Structure 1
Amino acid sequence: MSALYIITGGPGAGKTTLLDELNHQGLITVPEEGRKVIKEQMGSGGEGLPWLNKELFAELMFEESVKTYQKISQAVHTKPVFFDRGILDTLGYMRLENIPVPASMVSKAGDMVYQNNIFILPPWKEIYENDAERKQTFGKAGETFECMKEIYQEYGYTIIEVPKLPVQDRVNFILGKII
């Protein structure tokens, strides 16, 4: 199995910028499924959006995350793979939004494992921005950060908080932890 790593945290903490830089340096990155679902739902006029139907959004996000995990984990990669959020992020989102998590999701999430060290980016007000797919407040970003930290710890992962540094320094920090 390839070395599968997760970069998580609340919205607007610099995950996408960090993953873009990792990709620019020739590493394998996997985009966030939540944004993909939002774009697809907005494009089709669907209701699976976090501001319309949070439960449907979570179900769609979970399904896409599982498909992507299965596809990536079955391939042979000579370099580490970095996911912009993992399967457990959906369970964390559901907890945050008080959506019941079906036992089937809990079981499936437990079966799909990543490297033990999970990289989490803390809320960072100076870089936080809203956009067409990110409508949460900065306060909600902080709640999301805490929830993601908890859910990964509950599943036995080790949380490594990535310092608030320029993007290249963040890349170096992460690479220094996996080599």
Structure 2
Amino acid sequence: MKTRKIVITGGPGTGKSSIIYNLEEKGQKCLHEISRQVTLEAQKEGIDQLFLEKPLLFSQKLLEGRLNQYHEAKEFESDHVFIDRGLPDVLAYMEYFNTDYPQLFHETCEEYRYDHIFILPPWQEIYTSDNERYESFEEALKISSYLYSTYRKYGYEPIEVPKLGIAERTDFILSKI
């Protein structure tokens, strides 16, 4: 059985994690966002904000982690697996921050393909910041536009999830797969 890999993406504070948790509550197989884990590991090594201090190293670690998730998703005995952010997210953020990256990043996005992309649009009413989410809502809007364009660059047509409650957004996603 080929396990379909389904990405849920969107700018900061759009509800991705809440939807992933809701999908899990409904018995769906999910892989969680790894950027906070990468940040926490760097903090243990004395780097307060790896993304700000060494953006290329941070992005390399994200790319490796998301590639590992891609391979991990194939191991599930399930029709599909939901993944909180995909490989193109790394490039979208690097483009947003105008950071150069090796050709390997592009090649990785070309080679490892997802089956469905769901994108959550910016939504000011639910947006909050915290210790790891330091972007303003205006920055989140810009990041979102980079996510749309990056996924389209790689031939995806992201399905936009409507601004509804968590359960309704989850049901919308499930109805489209």
- The answer, yes or no, to whether TM exceeds 0.5 is yes
Q: How many residues align?
A: 176
- In the TM superposition, what is the alpha-carbon distance from 1:159 to its structure 2 partner? 1.2
Structure 1: segments with no counterpart, 5+ residues? none
1:104 equivalenced with 2:104 (yes/no): yes
**Secondary structure in 2 aligned to 1:45?**
coil
1:64 to 1:47, Cα distance in 2 relative to 1, 3 A:
farther
- The corresponding residue for 2:150 is 151
More displaced stretch, 48-57 vs 16-25: 48-57
Q: 5 Å matches for 1:21-170?
A: 21-46=22-47, 49-73=50-74, 75-115=75-115, 117-170=116-169
- For 1:57, give the aligned amino acid: F
Structure 2: segments with no counterpart, 5+ residues? none
- In the TM superposition, what is the alpha-carbon distance from 1:47 to its structure 2 partner? 5.9
Over the aligned positions, Cα root-mean-square deviation in angstroms equals 1.4
Rounded Cα–Cα distance in structure 1 between residues aligned with 2:55 and 2:136: 16
Rounded Cα–Cα distance in structure 2 between residues aligned with 1:98 and 1:143: 13
Q: Is the 8 A contact 2:109 2:154 kept in 1?
A: no
Q: Is the 8 A contact 2:62 2:90 kept in 1?
A: yes
Q: Is the 8 A contact 1:3 1:114 kept in 2?
A: yes
- For 2:173, give the aligned amino acid: I
**Secondary structure in 2 aligned to 1:133?**
coil
Counting aligned pairs with the same residue, the percent is 36
The TM-score with structure 1 as length reference comes to 0.93
State the 4+ residue runs in structure 1 displaced beyond 3 angstroms.
Answer: none
The TM-score with structure 2 as length reference comes to 0.94
Rounded Cα–Cα distance in structure 2 between residues aligned with 1:12 and 1:70: 27
**Secondary structure in 1 aligned to 2:82?**
strand
